[in-house]
A = this chain, B = another copy of it.
Amino acid sequence: MKKYSVRVYVTLRASVLDTAGTAVESGLHQLGYEGVEGVRIGKYIELSLRAESQEKAEADLHEMCDKLLSNPVIENYRFELNPVEA
């Protein structure tokens, strides 16, 4: 079995209104940071994963993202996978 360190980025689809992002953007403007635009807030997930191969690890990750880590209706996901010493 190999071990992988994984980073998953879950973001709202562009078509979805990001109310949290909008709220943070107006908060930053009120603090005086007028130069800020287009704030979008998502999830950043770190985990480690044991699998027989990189292909198996990637297949599992796609399933995990579809089933639990993201909501496919309103969110996109991408991930980065790096082998680490087991």
Contact = CB atoms under 8 A, between A and B. Distances in A.
A40 B25 CA distance: 25
Copies of this polypeptide in the complex:
2
A35 B60 contact: yes
Interface residues of A, number: 34
Given A28-B68, A31-B67, A38 B44 contact: no
A36 B64 contact: yes
Interface string A33-59: 101111111111111111100000000
Nearest to A52: B35
Between A10, A36, A43, the greatest number of chain B beta carbons within 10 A of the residue's beta carbon is seen for A36
Contacts of A67: 31
